[in-house]
């Protein structure tokens, strides 16, 4: 996977690139294709801000984190993206999404209309 890493304020060293690639490799384990991931690194008043944008087949993930240490900001960013990806992955299987109005209606055989059925008559 090719990760587009840009920064205007600091130079991107191979160790920074490897650290970001390692975090994104963890995201690939979820079997969802990550389309054109982009990372932007900026500095502002002794803090480093890391932003990431990832396109998915049916959506998009975006996360940002700000910290004094770059590696901590990258780790926090990776955790935020993991949470969003898990939410995206599990959303179709969620309890609220698996039901529709028709599922709540009972079938006519389950409705008790007050008349004894043939099974009730045989038991009596």
User: Does the pLDDT value for residue 110 go beyond 80?
Assistant: no
The Cα 4–Cα 16 span in angstroms is 13
Q: Which domains are seen in the chain, by residue range? A: 4-91 (3.30.160.100)
Three-state secondary-structure class, residue 31 = coil
The Cα 40–Cα 36 span in angstroms is 13
Give the pLDDT band (50/70/90) at residue 64: very high
pLDDT at 58: 85
Look at the chain and count its residues.
124
The Cα 25–Cα 3 span in angstroms is 11
Give the pLDDT band (50/70/90) at residue 27: confident
pLDDT at 102: 56
The Cα 62–Cα 3 span in angstroms is 14
Q: Measuring CA to CA, how many Å separate 9 from each of 55, 69, 107?
A: 25, 15, 65
pLDDT at 82: 93
- Contact assessment for residue 16 and residue 28, using Cβ atoms and an 8 Å cutoff: no
For tokens 């008043």, the residue is: 45
Model confidence pTM above 0.75: no
| 114 backbone φψ class: left, alpha, beta (φ>0; ψ -120 to 50) | left
């Amino acid at each position: 996977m090719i990760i587009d890493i840009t920064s205007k304020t600091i130079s991107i060293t191979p160790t920074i690139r490897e650290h970001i690639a390692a975090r994104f490799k963890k995201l690939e384990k979820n079997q969802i294709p990550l389309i054109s991931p982009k990372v932007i690194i900026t500095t502002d008043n002794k803090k480093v801000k890391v932003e990431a944008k990832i396109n998915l087949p049916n959506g998009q993930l975006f996360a940002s984190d700000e910290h004094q240490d770059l590696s901590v900001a990258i780790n926090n960013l990776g955790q935020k993206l993991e949470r969003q990806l898990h939410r995206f992955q599990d959303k179709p299987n969620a309890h609220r999404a698996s039901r529709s109005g028709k599922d709540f209606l009972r079938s006519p055989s389950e409705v008790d209309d007050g008349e004894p059925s043939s099974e009730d008559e045989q038991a009596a």
